[in-house]
Amino acid sequence: MGGNHTQTKFILLGITDSPCAQTPLFVLFLSIYIVTLVGNVGIIVLVRVSPSLHTPMYFFLTHFAFIDICYSAVISPRMLADLLSEEKTISFSACMMQLQSFTHFAIVECHLLAMMAYDRHVAICHPLLYVTIISSRVCWQLVASSYLFAFFSAIICTWCAFGGSFCGPNLIDHFFCDIVPVLKLVCSDTHTSEMIIFAFVTINVVGTSVVLLLSYISILHAVLRMCSAQSRARAFQTCASHLTAVALFYGTTFFMYLQPPSSHRSLDKVASIFYSVVTPMLNPFIYTLRNKEVKGALVKHGRRMFNRWQHKRVVSSRT
């Protein structure tokens, strides 16, 4: 992978060049990263130990949490290290691997959000056929195909980004190796590469957003036909957390990638921080605080752990 290049390393300019701001930002982003890991690992463990959550919806949610952990891990540790170091260099191969990994996990997340929307569509619009349509085998096939398609898409996008000649500056005006800032350093013509990347972004982001849109149009149509206000409220509630996650992820993604290269501004770093660092932290809270089933399972296992702790304490005091 990669074409003719003379650069062996790049320098990441990072989030800020102010020395005074780097330590507070390190503490802030380290806290966010720890919460991200704890929250997403917590969701995976909770779903695994709760029989009531062994449904397709939460099967997709565990993979969603796993992807959040992965693509946050691709960005955050490197960003935290750079905030404390004076020389923010990254090798050509490491930069290429970071871009490929991040692109892969971001594309998988797009597909998972679309799958979760389709799952809600079938559950609300075709409840009697739900078990047949969204079977365990179908769930595994959908997830496996999304990982595979995302892998090949990421490989092609990375090849396009690093396939040119890097014979000029090696300063990447970003805090990680993203497609747009890397392409700015290519000396050769990047028009074809940009078109291929734009096509794959369109296929994945716009394609999955169409699935989301059609699913929720069907859901809205089905909900409005329900006679009971309580049934309508319950249906909307099951979709609320997913819609919030969709709005956060797709809002920043559309802003970042579906605009002309000349339109990219300093706000891009803020958008990148939001979708690559902040959103993975928020997702566990979105799916726990706005979901009765998850909150119920969390309370149940919390009480069970507390009762076990109390029992052990009583036993130890008697002995």
pLDDT of residue 302: 67
pLDDT tens sequence across 146-159: 999 999 999 999 99
| Sheet arrangement for strand 171-172 | 89-91, 9-12, 171-172
**Alpha-carbon torsion (214, 291, 113, 263), positive or negative:** positive
SS3 135: coil
Nearest to 114 by CA among 208, 38, 203: 208
Identify the band that residue 244 occupies on the pLDDT scale cut at 50, 70 and 90: confident
62 CA to centre of own chain: 12
pLDDT tens sequence across 88-102: 889 989 999 999 999
Residue 17, phi then psi, degrees to nearest 5:
-105, 10
Q: Above 70 in pLDDT, residue 35?
A: yes
pLDDT tens sequence across 157-216: 999 988 888 887 888 888 899 888 888 888 888 888 888 888 888 888 888 888 988 998
pLDDT of residue 67: 94
Q: What's the mean pLDDT when you consider all of the chain? A: 83
Residue with structure tokens 């992807």?
67
Which structure tokens are listed for 118? 């389709």
List b or e across 1-12, with b for residues whose CB sees 16 or more CB atoms inside 10 angstroms: eeeebebeebeb
Identify the band that residue 49 occupies on the pLDDT scale cut at 50, 70 and 90: confident
CATH architecture of 9-311: Up-down Bundle (1.20)
pLDDT tens sequence across 266-287: 567 777 888 888 889 988 888 7
pLDDT of residue 50: 84
Q: Above 70 in pLDDT, residue 317?
A: no
What residues does each domain of the chain span? Answer: 9-311
133 CA to centre of own chain: 26
